[in-house]
Amino acid sequence: MIEIAYVSKRFADLEALRDVSLSVHKGSVYGLVGSNGAGKTTLLKLLAGIYWPDNGIVKIDETPVFENVAIKERTVFIPDHIYYFGNYTIADMARFYQQIYPLWNEERFSFLAQVFEIDVNRRVRTLSKGMQRQVAFWLAFAIMPDVMILDEPLDGLDPVMRQKVKNLIVQEVAQREMTVIISSHNLFEMEDICDYIGILHEGRMLIQRDLDDLKADVHKLQAAFANGMPAEFLATMEPLSYEQRGSIHILIMRGNHQEIMNRLQSFKPLIVDILPLTLEEIFIHEMGDKGYAIKNIIY
Amino acid sequence: MPSKTSFIKAGINGGILRNDIKSFGWLGAAYLLALLLSFPLTILMIYSQEQQRVNANDLLNQGLQLADHYLPLFQFNSELQLILFLTVPILTGLLLFRYLQSRKAADMIHSLPVRRETLYNTHILAGIILLFVPIIITALTSWALVLGLGIEGVPFKAMMMWLGVALLFNLLLFICTVAVGVLTGISTVQGALTYILLLFPTGFMVLLLDNLNTWLFGFPSGFYEQSLNFSPLTRLVEIYSNPLSGTEVAVYLLIIAAIYLLGIWFYRRRRIEMTGNAIAFEALHPVFKYGVAFCTMLLGGSYFSSQYSLGWTYFGYFLGAFLGYYLSVILINKTWQVFNRQVARGFAAYVLIIVVALVGLNYDVLGYEKRIPSLANVETVYMDYSFHRLINDPEQQDYYSDQYRRTPKMIYMGPDNIGRIHQLHQAIIANRALEKKQNSTNNTYNNRYVCLAYQLKNGNVVYRSYYIPQDQYAAWFKPIYESQEHKRLLYDILNIAPEQADFIQINANFVGRNVKIGSPALVKEAVQALQRDAQTRTYEEITNDSSWADIEILLSSGKRISLAWNKGDTVFEDYLRRINQLNNSRIMVEDITSALVGKTATPSTPATRVITTKEDGTQYREMEESGEYLKITDPQQLEICLKVSTFSYWQEPIYTIMFLLNNGNVVSGAFTSETIPEFVKAHFGQ
């Protein structure tokens, strides 16, 4: 659905993106994670057809996005700084989008009024920042987009609204196979919504993974042995990381769950536990050498 | 295949258009209100005034007065209207394209499923609606008033002209603002740059001509100044006195089309991320930087050269270029920290190029100053005090000048005169080192402009203009001036047959007498006498154009010829004496009580004035009593004084003479160095 390949973008003397590639399948959610200035916003604006790349390809549905009305009619972009026309009420903005986006769904717009619970006759610019963001989602969902591009979308929303919005996104993805690309500086927040995660740092894509694969593939084990750690244990297990806390040995391992367990059992441990891994831990270990850096990138 | 409607759909987005009108409709409404105040309401006000005048039985000339009062309204003579036309289209452009200059708005609008061309076209259409609808409503309302109130003398054409010109200039100013908006990334810069660009065609040419004048001896800046007033702002202000020609309308329409296309071209290539930069295209940064530096350099040079010496002109160039260059770099880079080596190097390169160019000009590398067409290639040559009559269309003449025969353009076709003018030109060029210096010392009495236009046989025209002291070139001017060709160009009386004249009136200067001659035989004789005098007039008499009377000749064609009876015209004088009308045709010794002669205190004071106020009569008596002046009462001496006192502006007055007339008026003239009577010299001890 979304394909970005070898994209580079310079701003005057700053290289914002360099050789970035990613792809998002139809009906999935891609999380773009990175610290401030990593190039997330630039990448999303390229995808929204606002910028054009110096190099590389930015495609949705296998056609370039830039100046492509047919694609943009099915795409909605919620930027980190949202713009509303001066003195416009929510209803005015709705009329405007209705005239611009052919897939606009008036019923959907009315239905969402119950979710967001804001008076449609309020002037948008007089609303609080969080409410303005809610309005953006409200309008965006009524456009009935096939592709949603969200730049730090959950910032400024209270936890309840955050969950509501996430639910709405998940619903749309499930029901209509909407495709979503969503940026955040918070990996943790992406965990429950994204199918894919890409980490962008200083304009380069450090790593991207399918979260389901990751979670199935990387395991955190706790083990204890009667007579201390067997001599061949570490060499055999080949853990991504290893730590000893008293008599407890903690390993993070890649591989098939059952196969790892079988190998571990051969050393006859006293106890074995498989613990849940946070996304952050997975990425730190996945990235190996670069792992030390990611601690500073993602918080 | 896309149909026409789908093309229109692709060009205009209804949602964006409706949104523009919704957001900025207030601007159109305010514009309409202001225009209605400036135009139809003024018609009503004049009308109610007129009604009062009519009621006061002032019925004479009513029709003419009515037209005189209302017509200027249709000819852009309203200040409020001009102010509106000079600001509202630009404001409209700024507001409609504001979204380009704000990062949030630019991101939002460009993420919409609307192509850039569509955005551009739609906003332009919105602007046209916002500007045109109020203007059209104003025109219709005004016309309805003209018809409804029964105002006479305002033709439908005048209303249509107003409408057409108003629409044209609104569109031009608006489209300029739009195109500049595409180039810049800051609204204030857009506004400022638009006005600068609109003034640019005139301002830049004036500066360039002014500076070339300093550098190129013989550069005909007057020629270019007259033919270049394309700046829409100055042109609009001038429309009342100088209506638009068809060519100008065509040129403006072409410019509008070109600017529109240029705007699209740039919009397609605009990087939205450049929003917030003064100039949104990096490729234009050097153009902007060096363009500004060049213009401010010319400005600095003009400012300092108008008052001071050449050294100051150089200083002005450097200061102007320095300020312009660094200010534009500061604006582009959005930082004051521009005083580094890289920026300095760019400025040094510029200075180097300018120095080379100036040195080149100074040594006339192009050979411009010495270039003179070879005599064999010249077909005709124009020589006059200015290029005015060469350029200005004789068709555009007003009612007053329509009564007179058109004076011919000073174009010489005879090989003798072409050769003489060519020689004069060579003499001027040979003296150029000296003349360049004299130009700055400005001796206003002696100096004159010599404007030349050689029409070459290959169709080219060579223009030159010089400011030179005429008496130093008298040897070259004399044969030209005394040639019959020159006289036929100068004196229209030589171009008519004596039989064509019906009636002559001679109005004596300074005294209220006149002579009317209607008898065909006498009229014919008078014309013949005037023709003989004109034919035999010498160079000195032509340049010293002191006269006894003004003569009006009514021709059988209904046109008139106006000429002066010069003091040296003896044939005509004899004629008047013969018909016993001499005394009625000129001021006589008998008209004069006395005269006072004194040294001219300030040589730059104009030589002649008729002084009629009582204060001056009193002043005459005070001067008389002061004893510093030579008082003349002897009739013979008075006659000599009358004959030789001059009213010419070309020569410097050495002595001033004041005649006290019997009727109490005071007339003053002057003696130049050549015309001082012996008894005056004797009195003042020369």
Q: Over the stretch A81-103, which tens digit does the pLDDT of each residue have?
A: 999 998 999 999 999 999 999 99
β-sheet bridge partners, residue A10: A15
pLDDT at B385: 86
Are the C-beta atoms of residues B73 and B42 closer than 8 Å to each other?
Answer: yes
Is the CB of residue B14 less than 8 Å away from at least one CB of chain A? yes
The answer on B256 and B220 residing in a single domain is: yes
Spelled out in words, what is the top-level CATH class assigned to the domain A213-297?
A: alpha beta
Length of chain A: 299
Q: How confident is the model at residue B559 (pLDDT cuts 50, 70, 90)?
A: confident
Q: Which of A249-253, B330-334, B425-429, B615-619 has the lowest mean pLDDT?
A: B615-619
pLDDT over 50 (residue B134): yes
Tell me if B111 and A83 make a contact (CB, 8 A cut-off). no
Q: Which candidate from B19, B102, B116 shows the least CB-CB separation from A96?
A: B19
Is the CB of residue B6 less than 8 Å away from at least one CB of chain A? no
Is this prediction's ipTM beyond 0.85?
yes
Is the CB of residue B271 less than 8 Å away from at least one CB of chain A? yes
Each residue of B536-559: b (16+ CB within 10 Å) or e? ebebebbbbbbbbbebbbbbeeeb
Is the CB of residue B55 less than 8 Å away from at least one CB of chain A? no
The CATH 3.30.70 domain(s) of chain A lie at: 213-297
Taking the C-alpha atoms of residue A123 and residue B454, their distance in angstroms, rounded to an integer, is: 72
Tokens read off for A121: 């006759």
Among chain B residues, the shortest Cα distance to A96 is held by B15
Residues of chain A in contact with residue B273, where contact means CB-CB under 8 angstroms, are 11, 51
pLDDT over 70 (residue B440): no
pLDDT over 50 (residue B533): yes
pLDDT over 50 (residue B2): no
Taking the C-alpha atoms of residue A35 and residue A17, their distance in angstroms, rounded to an integer, is: 14
Mean pLDDT over residues B215-241, rounded?
A: 77
d(CA A52, nearest CA chain B) in Å: 8
Q: Which of A159-163, B258-262, B435-439 has the lowest mean pLDDT?
A: B435-439
Number of domains observed in the structure of chain B: 5
Closest CA to A72 of A92, A93, A91, A45: A45
Across B56-65, B252-261, B378-387, the highest mean pLDDT is recorded for B252-261
Give the rounded percent of residues in chain A with a pLDDT score beyond 70: 95
Instruction: Decide the pairing of beta strands A2-11 and A55-60.
Output: antiparallel
The CATH 3.40.50.300 domain(s) of chain A lie at: 2-202
The 3-state DSSP class for residue A145 equals coil
pLDDT at B25: 95
The residue that leads in pLDDT, B4 or B342, is: B342
Q: Which of B34-43, B218-227, B481-490, B561-570 has the lowest mean pLDDT?
A: B218-227
Q: Which of A3-12, B308-317, B653-662 has the lowest mean pLDDT?
A: B308-317
Taking the C-alpha atoms of residue A286 and residue B475, their distance in angstroms, rounded to an integer, is: 102
Mean pLDDT over residues B206-231, rounded?
A: 76
**Which H helix or E strand runs over B595?**
strand B592-599
The answer on B206 and B225 residing in a single domain is: yes
pLDDT over 50 (residue B1): no
Q: Which of A67-81, A236-250, B256-270, B495-509 has the lowest mean pLDDT?
A: A236-250
Tokens read off for B648: 């010419």
The residue that leads in pLDDT, B40 or A45, is: A45
pLDDT at A297: 57
Tell me if B111 and A73 make a contact (CB, 8 A cut-off). no
Are the C-beta atoms of residues B221 and B213 closer than 8 Å to each other?
Answer: yes
Tell me if A83 and B14 make a contact (CB, 8 A cut-off). no
Question: Is residue B237 domain-resident?
Answer: yes
The residue that leads in pLDDT, B296 or B216, is: B296
What is the CATH code of the structural domain delimited by A2-202?
3.40.50.300
Closest CA to B372 of B474, B463, B481: B463
Across B119-128, B352-361, B531-540, the highest mean pLDDT is recorded for B119-128
pLDDT at B485: 92
Give the rounded percent of residues in chain B with a pLDDT score beyond 90: 34
Tokens read off for B189: 């810069």
The answer on B316 and B429 residing in a single domain is: no
The 3-state DSSP class for residue B115 equals coil
The residue that leads in pLDDT, B681 or A109, is: A109
The one-letter code for the residue type at A224 is A
Domain boundary among B333, B362, B391: B362
Q: What are phi and psi of B318, to 5 degrees?
A: -65, -45
d(CA B116, nearest CA chain A) in Å: 7
The answer on B140 and B34 residing in a single domain is: yes
- Best A46, A66, A69, A98 member to test B by mutation, with max B CBs in 10 Å, is A69
Question: Is residue B148 domain-resident?
Answer: yes
How far is CA B660 from each of CA A86, B589, B595, B634, B678, rounded to the nearest angstrom? 79, 11, 6, 14, 21
The answer on B532 and B439 residing in a single domain is: no
Dump the DSSP string for A196-217. EEEEEETTEEEEEEEHHHHHHH
Tokens read off for B328: 């534009």
pLDDT over 80 (residue A69): yes
Residues of chain B in contact with residue A96, where contact means CB-CB under 8 angstroms, are 15, 19
Domain boundary among B568, B585, B602: B585
pLDDT at A89: 95
Residues of chain A in contact with residue B18, where contact means CB-CB under 8 angstroms, are 99
pLDDT at B227: 59
The residue that leads in pLDDT, B339 or B309, is: B339
* Tokens 């196979």 -> residue: A177
If one counts every other C-beta atom within 10 angstroms of the C-beta of residue B382, the result is 19
Structural domain that includes position B407? 375-488
Taking only Cα atoms into account, the Rg of chain A, rounded to an integer number of angstroms, comes to 23
The answer on B306 and B267 residing in a single domain is: no
Query: Where are the strands (E) in B403-446, listed by range?
Result: 411-412
Helices and strands in chain A, H and E counts: 12, 14
pLDDT at A133: 92
Tokens read off for A118: 């804001």
The answer on B189 and B83 residing in a single domain is: yes
The one-letter code for the residue type at B208 is L
Query: Where are the strands (E) in B88-157, listed by range?
Result: none
pLDDT at B648: 58
Torsion sign across C-alpha atoms B534, B540, B541, B547: positive
Q: Over the stretch B80-110, which tens digit does the pLDDT of each residue have?
A: 888 999 999 999 999 999 999 999 999 999 9
Is the CB of residue B452 less than 8 Å away from at least one CB of chain A? no
Domain boundary among B472, B488, B504: B488
The residue that leads in pLDDT, A297 or A76, is: A76
Give the rounded percent of residues in chain B with a pLDDT score beyond 70: 88
Question: Is residue B173 domain-resident?
Answer: yes
Tell me if B114 and A69 make a contact (CB, 8 A cut-off). yes
Is the CB of residue B110 less than 8 Å away from at least one CB of chain A? yes
The answer on B573 and B427 residing in a single domain is: no
Residues of chain B in contact with residue A101, where contact means CB-CB under 8 angstroms, are 113
pLDDT at B308: 57
Is the CB of residue B370 less than 8 Å away from at least one CB of chain A? no
- Best B13, B107, B117, B275 member to test A by mutation, with max A CBs in 10 Å, is B107
d(CA A145, nearest CA chain B) in Å: 12
d(CA B119, nearest CA chain A) in Å: 11
Tell me if A100 and B111 make a contact (CB, 8 A cut-off). no
Question: Is residue B367 domain-resident?
Answer: no
The mean predicted confidence, pLDDT, of chain B is 83
Tokens read off for A167: 């639910």
Question: Is residue B370 domain-resident?
Answer: no
Tokens read off for B548: 């006894």
Tell me if A96 and B110 make a contact (CB, 8 A cut-off). no
Q: Which of A130-139, A283-292, B265-274, B491-500 has the lowest mean pLDDT?
A: A283-292
Is the CB of residue A22 less than 8 Å away from at least one CB of chain B? no
pLDDT over 90 (residue B594): no
The answer on B187 and B168 residing in a single domain is: yes
Q: What are phi and psi of B240, to 5 degrees?
A: -60, -45
Q: Over the stretch B608-665, which tens digit does the pLDDT of each residue have?
A: 444 445 566 777 787 777 777 888 888 888 888 888 887 655 567 778 888 888 888 8
The answer on B63 and B174 residing in a single domain is: yes
d(CA B280, nearest CA chain A) in Å: 11
Closest CA to B661 of B549, B515, B546, B512: B512
Question: Is residue B369 domain-resident?
Answer: no
Residues of chain B in contact with residue A92, where contact means CB-CB under 8 angstroms, are 22
Tell me if B108 and A82 make a contact (CB, 8 A cut-off). yes
Mean pLDDT over residues A146-165, rounded?
A: 90
Q: Which of A4-13, B115-124, B218-227, B534-543 has the lowest mean pLDDT?
A: B218-227
Q: Which of A28-32, B71-75, B174-178 has the lowest mean pLDDT?
A: B71-75
Residues of chain B in contact with residue A81, where contact means CB-CB under 8 angstroms, are 103-104, 107
Q: How confident is the model at residue B8 (pLDDT cuts 50, 70, 90)?
A: very low
- Best B24, B99, B101, B111 member to test A by mutation, with max A CBs in 10 Å, is B111
Tokens read off for B341: 């080596």
Dump the DSSP string for B337-389. ---SHHHHHHHHHHHHHHHHHHHHHHTTTT-TTT----GGGEEEEEEESSSHH
The answer on B434 and B304 residing in a single domain is: no
d(CA A98, nearest CA chain B) in Å: 8
Instruction: Decide the pairing of beta strands B461-469 and B653-661.
Output: unpaired
The answer on B593 and B578 residing in a single domain is: no
Are the C-beta atoms of residues B339 and B324 closer than 8 Å to each other?
Answer: no
> Which residues touch B263 (CB under 8 Å, ≥6 apart)?
B120, B175, B178, B179, B182
Instruction: Decide the pairing of beta strands B592-599 and B653-661.
Output: antiparallel
